[in-house]
Amino acid sequence: MRLVAAEIDLAALAYNLAKVKRFAPHSKVMAVLKANAYGHGLVTIAKHLADADAFAVARVDEALALRAGGLTKPIVLLEGFFHPSDLPILLANNFQTIIHDESQLQALEQAELEAPIATWLKIDTGMHRLGIEPSQFTAFYQRLKACQNVKEQVNLMTHFSCADDLESTKTELQMTLFRQLVAEQGESLCLANSAGILGWPQSHGDWVRPGLMMYGVSPMLDKIGQDHGLKPVMRLTTKVIAIRSIAAGEGVGYGARWQSKSTTTLAIIAVGYGDGYPRHAKQGTPVIIKGKRYGIVGSVSMDMITVDIGDNHQGITIGDEVEMWGPNLPVEEIAQCASTIPYELLCNVTPRVSYEYS
Ligand SMILES: *Cc1c(COP(=O)(O)O)cnc(C)c1O
């Protein structure tokens, strides 16, 4: 019997991709699949994104895994390549690379390649993570245009730091700076991640880069995927493996972090941080059993969690299914209960969880 399952709804995935295209009808879609497709399973997810125009990943290994899985669409390396010796691999596998600094540009200029590589010049308009300074743009652009190892078209990209916050003025500033720099060249432009797609229509360039929203989850502050008409792709479930009564005043779990105020009933469920459930989920973080919400109590253990199901627990029995997050329990809400973001919870699902695609 399977205990912990990540049920992946492939129809919801396709639905969300179609939704991306409705939000950004004039843009091509670079589907972001880094970190094992946000914990959903890299190759299977990619195979069910037939309508995407390209894929994007963070690491060369992720891109190679897509090719090994038989995927043939263009793949963009969001951090570029990491060593000059990567360049023949990029060429052989039709990977497109971000260029975000001088060392990458020099490596391209000095390489001896049999054919040119497709590039995306990344400009730092305020995120201050990767990207060239706006003042460096003209020089970089001209050198890329002149470089034999670079394809004729040099695509242009930037990344938002605050697009999840509609009140922030930062996104407008970043868009303005970017557009001022790149207005003349007539190259393909790409700015928007999920938050840009959902919250900033003016940011939809020739390409968009959705990650989280494809998985049905909202990147916006205080919103959930359903608020945007998205459908959650992952449903994380486990089973009740024991039910027991506990007297008033007894401590539960490691460190006895929770004491029962009155006599109550506990359901022990078989999931923990060893499966990727957040150890810092606060007391009362909801789970769903038989259609009803109950709160977790005590510490999250590696393999188990205790749930207070109270005295009137409506026939809950061993073997009953428990939803940890999914269509009935937004992962955004669980993330908030654990003082983190839904991205982290999805990425953290561990390999011992059984993945079920339907
Ligand atoms: C991860 C990433 C994305 C996707 O972000 P979401 O918020 O998941 O849509 C887009 N662009 C870059 C550069 C990224 O690193």
Residues 88 and 193 in one domain: yes
pTM over 0.95: yes
Annotation says 254 is catalytic = yes
Residue with tokens 């510490």: 299
Show Cβ contacts of residue 245 under 8 Å, excluding neighbours closer than 6 positions: 263, 264, 265, 266
Q: Residue 124: what pLDDT?
A: 98
Q: Which long-range contacts (CB under 8 A, 24 or more apart) does 102-111 make?
A: 104/80, 105/140, 105/143, 105/144, 105/147, 107/81, 107/83, 108/144, 108/147, 108/149, 108/150, 109/143, 109/147, 109/149, 110/84, 111/84, 111/87, 111/149
Amino acid of residue 102:
E
Report if residue 170 sits inside a domain.
Answer: yes
Annotation says 38 is catalytic = no
**For the domain that residue 24 is a member of, what is the CATH number?**
3.20.20.10
Q: Residue 1: what pLDDT?
A: 75
**80 CA distance to ligand 1 middle (Å):** 14
Residues 212 and 324 in one domain: no
Report if residue 2 sits inside a domain.
Answer: no
- In ligand 1, the atom with minimum distance to the C-alpha of 213 is 9
Residues 56 and 199 in one domain: yes
Report if residue 225 sits inside a domain.
Answer: no
**56 CA distance to ligand 1 middle (Å):** 9
Q: Residue 65: what pLDDT?
A: 98
Report if residue 192 sits inside a domain.
Answer: yes
Residues 246 and 108 in one domain: no
Amino acid of residue 98:
I
Domain end position, chosen among 158, 188, 217: 217
Residues 212 and 262 in one domain: no
Residues 161 and 18 in one domain: yes
Q: Which of 15, 19, 28, 34 is catalytic?
A: 34
Mutate to test the pocket of ligand 1, among 36, 189, 209 (most ligand atoms within 8 A of CB): 209
Q: What is the extent of the structural domain holding 247?
A: 234-357
Residues 210 and 241 in one domain: no
Report if residue 222 sits inside a domain.
Answer: no
Residues with CB under 6 A from ligand 1: 32, 34, 78, 159, 193-195, 209-212, 219
For β-strands 5-8 and 234-246, DSSP reports them as antiparallel
Residues 175 and 121 in one domain: yes
Which segments in the chain show pLDDT lower than 70? none
**Residues comprising the chain, all counted:** 358
Report if residue 312 sits inside a domain.
Answer: yes
Report if residue 209 sits inside a domain.
Answer: yes
- In ligand 1, the atom with minimum distance to the C-alpha of 78 is 13
Q: Residue 139: what pLDDT?
A: 98
Q: Are 197 and 204 in contact (CB under 8 A)?
A: yes
Residues 164 and 210 in one domain: yes
Domain end position, chosen among 192, 217, 242: 217
- Whole-angstrom distance, CA of residue 209 vs CA of residue 206: 10
- What's the number of domains the chain is made of? 2
Residues 207 and 303 in one domain: no
**120 CA distance to ligand 1 middle (Å):** 15
Q: How many CB atoms lie within 10 A of CB 224?
A: 17
**For the domain that residue 335 is a member of, what is the CATH number?**
2.40.37.10
Report if residue 223 sits inside a domain.
Answer: no
Q: Residue 313: what pLDDT?
A: 80
Residues 14 and 60 in one domain: yes
Q: pLDDT tens for residues 167-215?
A: 999 999 999 999 999 999 999 999 999 999 999 999 999 999 999 999 9
Residue with tokens 């432009």: 189
Q: How many CB atoms lie within 10 A of CB 204?
A: 19
Domain end position, chosen among 217, 249, 272: 217
Q: Residue 257: what pLDDT?
A: 92
